[in-house]
């Protein structure tokens, strides 16, 4: 498949690691204008941009999606083409439609009262609104759309690289599908590295050493998967293009700068093709799932 925006290296990162960063997915000026608009919504709740004394909650959820005109400047062809570089040309339902942007977990100072560390809680993949199957079309990709500059220890989303392969293998063993919460719990408990990361198993690195355990060195599991936690640092206007099966979590924000991002789905027109013979029309998303299932010996994997 010809690529319009992403490089081959970015596609390979997505397939193997479960995510890639698209810089300047939309103009920085548009991202900051949208942030200004969001401050207006926060002011309605008494959270004022110029008065840090009103930032009483470390994390404020704007549990809404927006399609105000200010966001339309963020809905670029560059972003749309990058999405289709991963899910396949013409296979994304939302292409050409009016995008809705949300939800918004605005991170003011989550965990700022203690040393920065890799959390054990909050790890998940997304999709509360549908039942999860290995070939489900409902999510497509997870887009983490960035509307403020996010540096290290500044509340970047943590992603568990390689975890999308574990989830694909787990979902393949659920022919009747699973609800999100139960699936997350079962999947995490079934894999030693994930169980340690998410606190599903006792023991493991604690007391500030979880950074060394999960971030400073990559692990290899019994299936040869490379697993590592990384911070999704970014600039306003960037988008993190994430695999729908990728475990991720909020991280502490000790920067003093509020972090603005939203997540979007890219639902597909049809189910993923994870069975049958390989062919040139397979999307990188489908290739990533097939590779994850290959140790199980599926035909065409």
What's the pLDDT tens digit per position in 79-99? 999 999 999 999 999 898 888
| The pLDDT value given to residue 67 | 94
Supply the pTM of this predicted model: 0.94
Q: Check residue 280 and give its pLDDT.
A: 79
In 179-222, where do the E strands start and end?
Answer: 219-220
Residue range 175-203: mean pLDDT, rounded: 94
Q: Check pLDDT > 80 for residue 300.
A: no
Mean pLDDT of the chain: 94
Banded pLDDT at 297 (limits 50, 70, 90): very low
Give the tens place of pLDDT for each residue, 124-170.
999 999 999 999 999 999 999 999 999 999 999 999 999 999 999 99
Average of per-residue pLDDT across 60-89: 96
Q: Which residues of 25-55 are buried (b: 16+ CB within 10 A; e: fewer)?
A: bbeeebbbbbbeebbebbeeeebeeeeeeeb
pLDDT of residue 299: 38
Among 271, 283, 265, 13, residue whose Cα is nearest residue 164? 13
Confidence of residue 72 (pLDDT cuts 50, 70, 90): very high
pLDDT at 33: 98
- How many Cβ atoms sit within 10 Å of the Cβ of residue 254? 18
Q: DSSP letters of 217-283?
A: S-EE-TT--EEEEEE--B-TT-EEEE-TT--EE---B-SSS-B-EEEEE--BSS----SS---TT--
Percentage of the chain lying above the pLDDT 70 cut? 95
pLDDT of residue 204: 53
Share of the chain above pLDDT 90, in %: 89
CATH code, residues 8-292: 2.60.120.620
Q: How far apart are CA 118 and CA 110, in angstroms?
A: 13
Q: What was the pLDDT predicted at 279?
A: 80
Confidence at residue 295, expressed as pLDDT on a 0 to 100 scale: 63
The predicted model gives 112-117 an average pLDDT of 95
Band the pLDDT of 276: cuts 50, 70, 90: confident
Q: How many helices (H) and strands (E) does the chain have?
A: 9, 10
pLDDT higher than threshold 50 for residue 63:
yes
- CA 158 to the chain's CA centroid: 9
Position 301 confidence tier, pLDDT thresholds 50, 70, 90: very low
- Taking residues 194-218, report their average pLDDT: 83
């Amino acid at each position: 498949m010809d690529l319009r925006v992403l490089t081959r290296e970015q596609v390979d990162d997505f397939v193997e690691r479960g995510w890639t960063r698209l810089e300047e997915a939309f103009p920085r000026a548009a991202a900051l204008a949208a942030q200004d608009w969001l401050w207006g919504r926060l002011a309605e709740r008494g959270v004022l941009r110029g008065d840090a004394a009103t930032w009483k909650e470390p994390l404020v959820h704007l549990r809404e999606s927006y399609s105000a005109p200010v966001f339309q400047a963020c809905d670029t062809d560059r972003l749309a083409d990058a999405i289709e570089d991963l899910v396949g040309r013409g296979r994304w339902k939302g292409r050409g439609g009016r995008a809705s942007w949300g939800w918004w977990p605005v991170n003011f100072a989550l965990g700022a009262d203690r040393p920065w560390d890799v959390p054990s809680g909050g790890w998940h993949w997304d999709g509360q609104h549908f039942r999860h199957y290995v070939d489900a079309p409902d999510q497509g990709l997870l887009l983490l759309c960035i509307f403020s500059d996010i540096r290290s220890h500044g509340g970047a989303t943590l992603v568990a690289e390689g975890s999308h392969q574990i989830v694909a293998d787990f979902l393949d063993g659920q022919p009747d599908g699973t609800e999100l919460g139960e699936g997350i719990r079962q999947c995490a408990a079934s894999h030693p590295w994930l169980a340690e990361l998410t606190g599903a198993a006792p023991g493991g690195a604690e007391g500030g050493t979880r950074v060394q355990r999960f971030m400073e060195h990559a692990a290899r599991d019994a299936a040869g998967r490379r697993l590592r936690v990384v911070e999704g640092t970014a600039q306003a206007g960037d988008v993190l293009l994430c695999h729908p099966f990728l475990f991720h979590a909020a991280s502490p924000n000790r920067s003093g700068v509020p972090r603005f991002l939203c997540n979007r789905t890219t639902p597909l027109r049809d189910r993923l093709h994870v069975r049958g013979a390989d062919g040139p029309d397979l999307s990188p998303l489908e290739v990533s799932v097939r590779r994850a299932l290959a140790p199980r010996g599926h035909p065409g994997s």
